Amino acid sequence: MAIKTLEDLLQEGVSGRGVLVRSDLNVPLDEQGAITDPGRIIASVPTLKALSDAGAKVVVTAHLGRPKGGPDPKFSLAPVAAALGEQLGRHVQLAGDVVGTDALARAEGLTDGDVLLLENIRFDTRETSKDDAERGKLAKALVELVGDDGAFVSDGFGVVHRKQASVYDVATLLPHYAGTLVAAEVKVLEQLTSSTDRPYAVVLGGSKVSDKLAVIESLAQRADSLLIGGGMCFTFLAAQGFSVGSSLLEESMVDTCRTLLDTYADVLHLPVDVVVADKFAADATAEVVAADRIPDDRMGLDIGPGTVQRFTTLLSNARTVFWNGPMGVFEFASFAAGTKGVAEAIIAATGKGGFSVVGGGDSAAAVRQLGLPDDGFSHISTGGGASLEYLEGKKLPGLEVLES
């Protein structure tokens, strides 16, 4: 059964109806609580605006961070409500609770076109409960906010790989639809897994091999080249017998990496040089060394210029590129060149007619922090974990439930 979309819901009519929308508004905040990257808020606007303009009474649920055991003021959605209101060009109410008396009172008072944002859904521990009955109770309380003739729109792609009350259980209780963002993400990922133009290049970074093992094994069988950077490259370098100094190393994964290198020798590509330092700090002195000559008292914090050149050559004729994970500690200027250089190579491939996907998470943050153009890539995903699990071939609960 095909997934119904927002367009289907709008054709059915939403004027005067309550519509519960699960958005992904999990944006990064600085120490003062200011939003540092509004990308996910901006991405949520098309669905919410379409519903509001069509006269729906919109109730939005979302999370922020990982509060433990209940409400925590530092994870309040207050700054998100303000930013969302600016993007929508209309006032967005923020409920003082998740499904309590304030949320219920505000929901009952909504008029056509109004938008209400519930407080952080993870303030209610039932959201992430492993107990189906507990999640079900929260889902029923959420449904009460939009009424018996309400509908549910799933538009938080970053959480569709989670079996949670506001993602999965509510969809079993209401007519359900994929929002603009979720529909677009699925279309892109289907293209990556089915009708892929070749050569197909994959760029993977991040800190741990164990986090990416399944996707490495899956994509190595489909890609023409798989370029490894970030902290996890050092476990691969160790598997080649090289000393990696004090670099990040998963010793338990060395044998696995050795097997991967043997099995996919013609596909996997590792750094030929790295940028090292004596400490993990923005003011650390950077030095470029060969990948097999890392000093014992140094840690690798970025891929080197020779590797950027090599990876750029491999990417130059790519027709399809998937990138997930930075090449180094891009948050520090001295160790951002690898990520920026590889990103620019992907942009160049895109400019020549290639199809490129940035797999969310830190990669998407790097694009914006390094001043790279969003439109230099074909698609920037809002969900890193969900993207990876989809490409691994896993079933995503939040998508499966929309098919029922």
On whether 31 is known to bind a ligand per the annotation, the reply is no
On whether 331 is known to bind a ligand per the annotation, the reply is yes
Q: Which two tokens stand for residue 201?
A: 């290049």
**Which value, in Å, is the radius of gyration of the alpha carbons in the chain?**
22
On whether 64 is known to bind a ligand per the annotation, the reply is yes
The answer to whether the CB of 173 falls within 8 A of the CB of 143 is: yes
Q: What are the catalytic residues?
A: 40, 208, 361, 385
On whether 190 is known to bind a ligand per the annotation, the reply is no
The answer to whether the CB of 18 falls within 8 A of the CB of 147 is: yes
Question: What does each C-alpha distance from 146 to 3, 113, 139 come to in angstroms?
Answer: 21, 13, 12
On whether 363 is known to bind a ligand per the annotation, the reply is yes
On whether 300 is known to bind a ligand per the annotation, the reply is yes
Q: What pairing do the DSSP bridges indicate for beta strands 200-204 and 225-228?
A: parallel
On whether 310 is known to bind a ligand per the annotation, the reply is no
- Cα 166 from chain centroid (whole Å): 18
The answer to whether the CB of 25 falls within 8 A of the CB of 166 is: no
On whether 65 is known to bind a ligand per the annotation, the reply is yes
Strand order in the sheet with 320-324: 268-269, 225-228, 200-204, 320-324, 355-358, 379-380
On whether 246 is known to bind a ligand per the annotation, the reply is no
The answer to whether the CB of 157 falls within 8 A of the CB of 167 is: no
Integer Cα distance of 191 and 283 in angstroms: 42
The answer to whether the CB of 52 falls within 8 A of the CB of 58 is: yes
On whether 122 is known to bind a ligand per the annotation, the reply is yes
On whether 370 is known to bind a ligand per the annotation, the reply is no
On whether 22 is known to bind a ligand per the annotation, the reply is no
On whether 40 is known to bind a ligand per the annotation, the reply is yes
Binding residue ranges for substrate: 24-26, 40, 63-66, 122, 162
Binding residue ranges for ATP: 212, 300, 331, 360-363
Binding residue ranges for (2R)-3-phosphoglycerate: 40, 122, 162
Binding residue ranges: 24-26, 40, 63-66, 122, 162, 212, 300, 331, 360-363
